[in-house]
């Protein structure tokens, strides 16, 4: 019985050592792994627009089309965090939604998802508002064309309060 226990103990110790050795960041310059895909070129103009206003390089967060995201979701920021630090992130955009929305709505969608992935923002929750247009790109749905045309500059100022030309 003792040899069986010793073999099991040794095997379990070996597996645990190998499994957990690579789980934590190392203090010697450990970096997040490179994304498994590159950003689809269709998103480049919208990325450049976000970078113009935010002054943030977004190239570490790739964007790709996904054929069908759950429910009526237009896009999603997927990220891996350790404590409060985002280690790796990418964005998926529902291809059917992308093909059916306007240019301003595409900007809204990309800004919204970068708001989650890059800026750490959450959805804006609105209760008892009189206005027909939400006050932010961070509302939980793609905004209407009318709201985007009417309030675009307000949305930019709300999203990027330090932005100057």
pLDDT the model gives residue 27: 35
**pTM confidence score:** 0.74
pLDDT of residue 97: 92
Q: So what's the pLDDT on residue 31?
A: 44
Burial of 27: CB neighbours in 10 Å, binned 0-12, 13-18, 19+: exposed
pLDDT of residue 41: 94
Query: Taking a C-beta distance cutoff of 8 angstroms, is the pair 38, 144 a contact?
Result: no
Q: How many helices (H) and strands (E) does the chain have?
A: 5, 3
Domains of the chain: 36-159 (3.30.2010)
> Residue 13 has what pLDDT?
42
Other residues' Cβ atoms within 10 Å of the Cβ of residue 48: 10
Q: Are 94 and 73 a contacting pair, CB within 8 Å? A: yes
Other C-beta atoms lying within 10 Å of the C-beta of residue 106: 20
Nearest partner of 44 among 60, 63, 25, judged by Cα: 63
Q: How many CB atoms lie within 10 A of CB 95?
A: 16
Strand segments (E) across 61-159: 63-66, 75-82, 85-94
pLDDT tens for each residue of 18-68: 233 223 333 334 344 455 778 999 999 999 999 999 999 998 899 999 877
């Amino acid at each position: 019985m003792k040899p069986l226990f010793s073999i099991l103990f040794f095997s379990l110790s070996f597996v645990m050592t190998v499994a957990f050795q690579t789980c934590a960041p190392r203090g010697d310059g450990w970096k997040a792994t490179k994304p498994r895909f590159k950003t689809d070129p269709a998103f480049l103009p919208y990325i450049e627009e976000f970078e113009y206003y935010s002054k943030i390089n977004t190239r570490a967060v790739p964007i790709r089309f996904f054929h069908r995201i759950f429910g009526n979701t237009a896009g999603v920021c997927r990220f891996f965090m350790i404590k409060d630090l985002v280690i790796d992130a990418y964005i998926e955009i529902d291809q059917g939604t992308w093909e059916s929305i306007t240019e301003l709505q595409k900007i809204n969608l990309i800004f919204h998802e970068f708001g989650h992935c890059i800026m750490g923002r959450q959805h804006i929750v609105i209760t008892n508002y009189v206005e027909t247009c939400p006050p932010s790109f961070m509302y939980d749905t793609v905004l209407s064309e009318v709201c985007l045309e009417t309030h675009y500059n307000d949305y930019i100022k709300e999203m990027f309060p330090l932005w100057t030309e």
